[in-house]
Structure 1
Amino acid sequence: MTNSFLTPLWKSYWTQLQPLLDLVVQEEESCNIVGEAHDWLNLATSLRLREEPFEIHSRTKDVAIDGSVVRYLTERLRLQNLAEDLHRLSIIAGTSSEPLRGSVAALRQRLVNQPITSPATTAAEGRVVLTSHPTESTRRTILQHMKKLGLLLQQPRSISNDLEIREALRAIWRTPSQRTTRPTVADEVELGLYYIRESLFDMLPQVTSEIESLVSPQHLPAVDWKIESWIGGDRDGHPYVDAQVTQWTLNRHREVARELYSERLSRLEHVLTSHTRYLHHQDRIRDWLETQSLQMPDAYAKLKDRYPQEPLRQVVGLINERLRQEHYRDTQSLYDDIVLLEEAWSPHVNRRPPLLSLLSRQVKTFGTHLASLDIRQHSRVHHEALVEIFGESYERATESEKLAILNQAFDNPPAFHPESASSLELQSTFRVIAEAQQLSGPDSVSHYLISMVHGASDLVGVLLLLRILVPEVVVDIIPVIETLNDLERCPKIMAEAYQIPAWRNHVHQRGDYLEVMLGYSDSTKDAGMLTASWAIFQAADSLSRWAQHQGIRLGFFHGRGGALGRGGGPTSYAIMGQPYASLRHRFRVTQQGEVLSQKFLLPDLAHRSLELMTTAHVEALLYPSSDPGPKVWTLFNQLAHRALIQYRSLIDARNFWEYFLDVTPIREMAALNWGSRPSWREKFDWGDLRAIPWVFSWTQNRTLLPGWYGAGTALSSLPDSYAQLQELYRVWPFWHTLVHNMELALVKADLHVAEAYQNLTTPSLKALFWPAIQEEYLRLKEAVLRITGHQELLDDQITLKEVIAWRNPMVDPLNYLQIETLDAYRSTGNEDYLPILAQTMEGIALGLRNTG
């Protein structure tokens, strides 16, 4: 192994942490936990070196001892991840003459060296949407300790610093890492707010401001990226999200926004200390203060007495008081008051205090609502409400008949008095949206998403329900297109909806804007990675062309997971790989689960992560790649079709479900206290199994099957196309990104360890499925090496390759402990094993830096 990644700085972090962790564990535990753990590490290393398989030998002698061993191995991986993250920060802060890929400096260099090929006519609109995760296992308390530890490690090393680090490790070890009860939706909301409070609130405005300073407004009017959320608003198959929970979530958003602005204003009160005579627009300041003196006489009098010669301090104090008393009903009024401070201080932007300029940008970015909350509901709920209105005839109607019924109803909307529990809840949710928009403006809730949209009536029906129940509410009604069939039919669905006059008027009211969410998770579960990725690309391209023909601005919401089997991989690569037309308007993308802590736990990492996303978006707009011609589409249609056949032949095979339940921990996961959302929508079967636990399970046993299966057969079946695929890999971002993600999945997968999980199934089932999985893996590996021209996987990304090569063997003992514990639990039913299983799952997820 070369030393390109294992630099002295990186090694110093690890060599500083490991002995301190060992010391703490030895001091805290009466048993030889560290020795036991190293026995497992040595066993795993020996098996790997000798290429021998792991066999179940019931080594789990004592539940308590094994639980601590698993915890120790987990904490090692958690610390290793932190060391890697701190190493990344050292590279960011380095003095290399070459700018980092995707950095603001790299964008500046490109703007200097390469003329802009396609000036943007609208702002680069992007949205990072925070989502909760049913397989996110790390407690917020642990994350807070890790952040503190990371900050300590960034300080100069000293005796006192080592003592602080040791005691921080002791606090982590003493903190229960597993929950005894499932987290509530409120817990998940607070975790999302934690990331906003601790890093995103400062970092996102900084990044967008830095990029805007580089690009002329003639070439790019603005960089408009914001944070949004659907934690507390996503009720699809989630029994614990109701109108009351959504109301509470919106209240918390407003409360945290007020707290954050109040903190900044309190600091600003000690910055804007100018005497009156230096200020501009003194008449506007005087008039503003006079107006506030009538509304808040006591507060005004106190501030005037305290700062008689410093009117801006009076203004800041009164803005803060207005926030506390909830006088600001929309973002614009607060923003106007901050702009007044800016213009009064100086007409020159570069002469304003940085804290004031940042606050102005924060208000534009976060508003009084902090983060727009998405509401998501299953199409079935709306359908049931419409059946209550129109009777059983609507239930039996064809799609065209439903559209005719709905179209006619807009002329004379029928009365609706909900009776069923689901319709009453729907009505309550609509009323919560109306109240939120009244309190904080339309941006507080501006997106209503519909899962499993199969026809235009699913869209138009929601519009009618809104008109009947809360006609004052106007939101973007967004279809979530999830299955392969619906991805292929999506342009037809949108076109049929647009034929309905009420829907066209609705789109016009929204500024001729429409949005579609493309679901990576269910489509990949449905069709496999290669087929789903191509179907999503085609859908985005076709929809963009249709919208352009209609004169509609069409935005896309990309429902990407963290794992490679759910659209994961670098977000910046994914942005560059989109059809150009699909990026010209709003681009939204989910960030969830372990991705949130990896990207946003430390402020500097948050800055880098946001920088990668936003610069990729700007570059894709200013330097668009050419989309492929008809011959390429024909080739990829063939590849997608062949990959689909191979993937479905495995998934649909008789006894595959039984095999899946045997060789993964999916059944046991359902008993763990992780996310608030159940892993199944309703029934314990393939159809109702959510995509996240599907991917999670295959990640746990190191197969990562959803991230690559089917692609090897497709590529190897067209050997005459390799030259074309090699060229496309060099010039077409979509294909380059897809190949990179498959290559990454192959490297993260480990068939040596995965084979050990075959001990958990019957010999007949192993013989039926395991050889086919191995052969498909090898087929894809050979194809990827031919396409990329690499001698080994990830030859072009040495750092990443070495990270994975170093980390993967450290995960092996957790896998072997998981196999032993699964075998013990399944044979005895002893629930004392479940906490150990939960700990192995967390450790493996940390080691692979992916959950689901």
Structure 2
Amino acid sequence: MVERLTSSPADAAPSGSGPAAEDPLDRETELLSELLGEVVEEQEGAELWDAVRGLHADAAAIRAGDEEAAERLIAGLRQSSDAALAPFIRACAMQLALANIAEGRERVRERRRYDGEVGGQRESLAEAAHSLRDEDPRRVAALASELEVELVLTAHPTEARRRSILNHQRHIAAALEIVQDDRLSASEREEARGQIRETLALWWQTDAVRRLRLRVEDEVQNVLFFFEAVLFDAVPALCAEVARRLGGDPAAVATPVRFGSWAGGDMDGNPAVDPDGFLPTLEAHRRLALRLLRDRVSALALSYSQGADHLPAGLPLLTSLERDAHELPRAAGAMGSRLRAEPLRLKLNFVEWRLANTLEPGDDPGYGSPQELAADLELVRASTGSSDVSNGAITALLRQVACFGFHLARLDARQSAGPLRDAAAALLPGLAGADEETRQRLLTEALLSSEAGAGEASEAGDEVERVLQTFEALARAGVRFGPEALDTLVVSMVERASDVLCALWLAQRSGATHLRVTPLLETVDDLDRAEGTLEALYANPAYREHLDARSGAQDLMLGYSDSAKDASFLASQWALYRAQEKLAAQAETHGVTLRFFHGRGGSPSRGGGLSHAAILAQPPDTVHGRIRITVQGETISARYSDRQLALRSLEQTVAAVMLGTASPPARAEGAFREEMEAIAGRSRAAYHALVNADEDFMPFLTQITPLNELAGLNIGSRPAYRGGAQDIEGLRAIPWVFAWTQNRLVLPSWYGAGVALAEG
């Protein structure tokens, strides 16, 4: 079984023994640990759980300064076989995950405690409203109604947990709510304890790591899980909170947030994402959106029991019902005359029938657009004869239609500039080997030519052919699903204006004219060149046509992970700050509405940390109520695994954008800027000397972090290296950061800063 790993279990406080903890967090942590212990003892024997308890005793002794405890613990671990350590590590990992569940519930309790207090919880909408209490209420309400926050969920492989385990954790959190509810009977609470034990047993018997590498379609389903389980119903609650706190119209259906996704669309260095996958991914989005809307309409129909005699007479509703009966004779026949006395329920049944036809097209008509659905629901809302009813579930449903439509989340396509350059060069004579000025001229002429679709690759390689197939697939996606489902092509590793023009021309020649091109600036050098790159684009007549067709709107993505890997965290952050200042001023000069797209991750070295503070730290005049932000990997489950946690995260982001717009920070000036330039330079030099110039660094990296082991785990579809080159330059930023996170050294978050600050 388990070799002797730690001190005697007699030295450890047994789980669940002694007086019950008064603090709810401590009480729930102890309860979950106790139930886990019962399951582990049943599955593996008491010796294993005794070893886990002994570990806690030794850890406490180590914290108290007992050096012998540290030696004893290390010796015990070294003497144990891998076979013995595997279940031991598994038990410890599950115990930590259960502690996270308890802490998540504590965050929910904290949110509830602050509700109603003057000033509200820190970083909440209530606090934002309190901070803006001296502003004109009409201005505050107007700003709130114009917010455009888009959160883009990615499939970056930093979430190692399987969807099955995430489901088990959600079930445990829900059952824990019942166990701790003193209003329920003892038998009800004991039943919930049994449900937790059952779920823990299922979790223990579930493989922690997938046996097969994650497929792209699995990544798509993992992202969709959070929409179905949490986000779809969190959005209307957020809208209600915005209206309540910031003085908006309680009947307004406009939502301050939208969602996007990269799962199934991120081709950058990932051969598993191919052109054939766009349509199935968008279809999966569409089917889930329609199913969720149909389910909500069905639930609403069950509750809308109002009789015709108690409703205001309305010709529009009667006319609509006559049209429904004429267009949907099978539905009318199925419902018969039983619902004629309940016109709103009848109308909602017709709506549900149309949604079913939209989901599974047949002979009967469905909805051609979300706007048609919204019009029917608005008709129902206008016919309720009660403000309480009209501002209730029907408004929540209209907000879901406004936010999610029939597409659920906008899918972005992403590809690196390199393959796009190669494809354009294979098609456009003279482009290969040309200097930048010539490249821009040739691409501009091609874009403005009436024969922009001409040009065939004489000897196209597989990679070029793949790029061409990609744009053809994007064109088909635009026709089939519309621009609201997929309208963005993110071009990563943009170094010059011609990179963007290549993407624009390839889109145009393929008929994918609905695409807007979003340059992604990933290295510090690219950020420093960004002003010149954008200046060339804004002055380009072909690109100007592209902007004018989109009312002058331009998205620009900023890469946090790659810029930090390239130059150090401190140098990267300063480069991002400076670039945003310049680019925002430049856009205003050219009459361009610029929206920054922040490619932030979960850890500080990927731009993570506190979203609220990060948004408020953006340079003045760079937010303007609109922002796009990635939500990556493990951050998705941390923020959106629970409805209350999701609401907290969403309101933190919305509140920060609101404050950053209404009351932006002061501009960095003078001596501060000079000192930051010097500090960033020293930090970059120190970082480069270790990471890039020291030939021993790569072997050191693979020995001190589980980089190679992580590459072998089945947690994502994307390779760890770009182009197969297994060196520091080819290593992707995300596995780089993820590897350092595992040993808790998190070197990318701090290295270079100490030297830079000390020398200052």
**Superposition TM-score, scaled by structure 2 size:** 0.89
| 1:257-310 superposed Cα distances (whole Å, 9 cap, x missing partner) | 011001101011123333335545722223323333343221133335231122
Q: What's the secondary structure of 2:303's corresponding residue?
A: coil
Q: Do structure 1's residue 343 and structure 2's residue 382 form an aligned pair?
A: yes
In structure 2, the residue matched to 1:15 is: 30
In structure 2, the partner of 1:819 is: none
Instruction: Name the residue aligned to 1:451.
Output: 492
1-structure distance, mates of 2:90, 2:511? 51
Residue 329 (structure 1) aligned with residue 368 (structure 2): yes
Alignment of 1:769-848 (within 5 A): none
Deviation per CA, 1:530-556: give whole Å up to 9, x if none.
110111111111111011111111001
Return the offset for 1:46: 4.8
- More helix by percentage: 1
Give the direction of change, closer, same or farther, for the CA distance of 1:170–1:118 in structure 2 (3 Å limit): same
8 Å Cα contact 2:268/2:415 also seen in 1:
yes
Shift, 1:338, TM fit: 1.8
Q: What is the 5 A alignment of 1:357-506?
A: 357-391=395-429, 393-410=430-447, 411=449, 412-417=451-456, 419-470=460-511, 473-506=513-546
Asked if 1 retains the 8 angstrom alpha-carbon contact of 2:538 and 2:590, the reply is: no
Q: Structure 1 residue 125 and structure 2 residue 148: aligned?
A: yes
> What number of residue pairs does the alignment pair up?
709
One-letter amino acid of the structure 2 residue matched with residue 342 of structure 1 = R
* Aligned residues of 1:275 and 1:310 also touching (Cα < 8 A): yes
Q: Report the AA paired with residue 442 of structure 1.
A: P
Deviation at 1:422, TM superposition (A): 2.9
Match for 1:211: what amino acid?
A: V
Letter in 2 for 1:101: R
Structure 2 counterpart of 1:69, which letter? F
Tell me what 1:74 maps to.
93
Cα distance in 2, alignment partners of residues 432 and 529 from structure 1: 38
Paired residue for 1:708? 750
- Match for residue 191 of structure 1 among 209, 219, 222: 222
- Call closer, same or farther: CA 1:95–1:583 in 2, change over 3 Å: closer
- Between the aligned partners of 2:474 and 2:43, the Cα distance in structure 1 is 51
Partner of 1:200: 231
Instruction: Give 1:610 shift.
Output: 0.9
CA displacement, residues 155-191 of structure 1 (integer Å, 9 cap, x when unaligned): 1443333222222222221222121111111111111
- How far is 1:380 from its partner? 1.3
Q: How far off its partner does 1:108 sit? A: 3.4
Indicate which of 103, 124, 141 corresponds to 2:164.
141
Q: Is residue 135–residue 696 contact of structure 1 (8 Å, CA) maintained in 2?
A: yes
Paired with 1:273 and 1:57, the residues of 2 have a C-alpha distance of 68
Quote the Cα distance in structure 2 between the aligned partners of 1:361 and 1:160. 37
The Cα offsets for residues 58-109 of structure 1, whole Å up to 9 and x where unpaired, read as 7253332211011011001001111111111111122674521122332333
Q: Note if contact 1:134-1:679 (Cα within 8 Å) is conserved in structure 2.
A: no
2:106 equivalent to 1:106: no
Say yes or no: does 1:151 pair with 2:174.
Answer: yes
Q: Aligned letter for 1:397?
A: A
1:588-737 to 2 correspondences below 5 Å = 588-651=628-691, 652-681=693-722, 682-718=724-760
| Bigger mean CA offset, 689-698 vs 436-445 | 436-445
Distance in structure 2 (CA, Å) of the matches to 1:370 and 1:258: 9
Matches of 2:343 and 2:604 in 1, distance apart?
55
The Cα offsets for residues 225-266 of structure 1, whole Å up to 9 and x where unpaired, read as 111111111010111111222211101000100110011010
Q: Which residue number corresponds to residue 211 of structure 1? A: 242
Name the CA distance, whole Å, in 2 between partners of 1:514 and 1:349.
40
Q: Is the 8 A contact 2:625 2:657 kept in 1?
A: no
* Aligned-partner SS, 1:675: coil
Distance in 1 (CA, whole Å) between partners of 2:479 and 2:368 is 8
Q: Which has the higher contact order (CA 8 A, sep 6+)?
A: 1
Distance 1:539 1:281 in 2: 60
Range 50-59 or range 401-410, more displaced: 50-59
- AA of the residue aligned to 1:458: D
The 3 A distance-change label for structure 1 pair 365 and 287 is: same
CA distance in 1 between partners of 2:387 and 2:563 (Å): 48
The answer to whether the Cα contact below 8 Å between 1:208 and 1:614 also exists between their aligned partners in 2 is no
CA distance in 1, matches of 2:373, 2:509: 33
TM-score, with normalisation over the residues of structure 1?
Answer: 0.79
Give the match for residue 87 of structure 1: 106
Q: Which of 35, 45, 49 is the aligned partner of 1:34?
A: 49
Amino acid in the other structure paired with 1:366 = F
Mapping of 1:128-277 within 5 angstroms? 128-157=151-180, 158-216=189-247, 224-277=256-309
* Superposed counterparts of 1:753-768, under 5 Å: none
Mapped pair 1:539 → 2:560: no
Q: Does structure 1 retain, via aligned residues, the 8 Å contact 2:520–2:556? A: yes
Greater Cα shift, 543-552 or 575-584: 575-584
RMSD (Å) for aligned C-alpha atoms:
2.4
C-alpha contact 1:329 1:438 (8 A) present in aligned 2: no
SS of residue matched to 2:452? coil
Structure-2 change in CA distance of 1:368 and 1:86 (3 Å): same
Equivalent position SS for 1:325: helix
Match of 1:315 among 324, 347, 370: 347
Distance in structure 2 (CA, Å) of the matches to 1:280 and 1:388: 67
Q: Deviations over 1:457-516 (max 9, x none)?
A: 111111111111115x31220001100100111121111012221110110111110000
CA distance in 1, matches of 2:403, 2:616: 24
SS at match of 1:342: helix
Specify the SS of the correspondent of 1:305.
Answer: coil
Q: How big is the shift at 1:40?
A: 4.3
Deviations 1:401-436, CA, capped at 9 Å, x for gaps: 100001111223251345433333333333333333
Report the Cα distance in structure 2 between the residues aligned to 1:197 and 1:223, rounded to whole angstroms: 18
Structure 1 residues 575-586: aligned runs within 5 Å: 575-584=615-624, 586=626
User: How far, CA to CA, are the matches of 2:162 and 2:453 in structure 1?
Assistant: 48
CA distance in 1, matches of 2:644, 2:316: 39
Which segments of 5 or more consecutive residues in structure 1 lack a partner in the other structure?
A: 1-5, 719-852
In structure 2, distance between residues paired with 1:240 and 1:526: 26
1:647-671 Cα shifts (integer Å, max 9, x gaps): 1111122311121122111122222
> Larger deviation: 173-182 or 58-67?
58-67
Alpha-carbon contact 2:444-2:540 (below 8 Å) kept: yes
Aligned mates of 1:338, 1:374 — CA distance in 2:
30
The 1-side partners of 2:592 and 2:236 are apart by 29
- Given that 1:330 and 1:440 are in contact with CA atoms closer than 8 Å, whether structure 2 keeps it comes out as no
Return closer, same or farther for 1:438/1:693 CA change in 2, 3 Å cut-off.
same
3-state SS of the aligned residue for 2:562? helix
Q: The residue matched to 1:376 in structure 2 has which SS?
A: strand
Q: Secondary structure at the match of 2:596?
A: strand
Return the offset for 1:10.
Answer: 0.7
Mapped contact 1:331–1:441 kept (Cα < 8 A):
no
Change (3 A) 1:281 1:123: farther
Moved more, 516-525 or 106-115: 106-115
Of 278, 282, 292, 2:314 maps to: 282
Q: Residue by residue, what CA displacement relative to the aligned partner does 1:304-324 show, whole Å, maximum 9, x if unpaired?
A: 523112222222122222222
**Residues 126 and 586 in structure 1, CA contact (< 8 A), matched pair in contact too:** yes
The verdict on how the C-alpha distance between 1:25 and 1:427 changes in structure 2, with shifts beyond 3 A counting, is same
For the structure 1 residues 447 and 367, does the alpha-carbon distance in structure 2 shift closer, same or farther, using more than 3 Å as the test?
Answer: same
Q: Which amino acid counterpart does residue 470 of structure 1 have in structure 2?
A: G
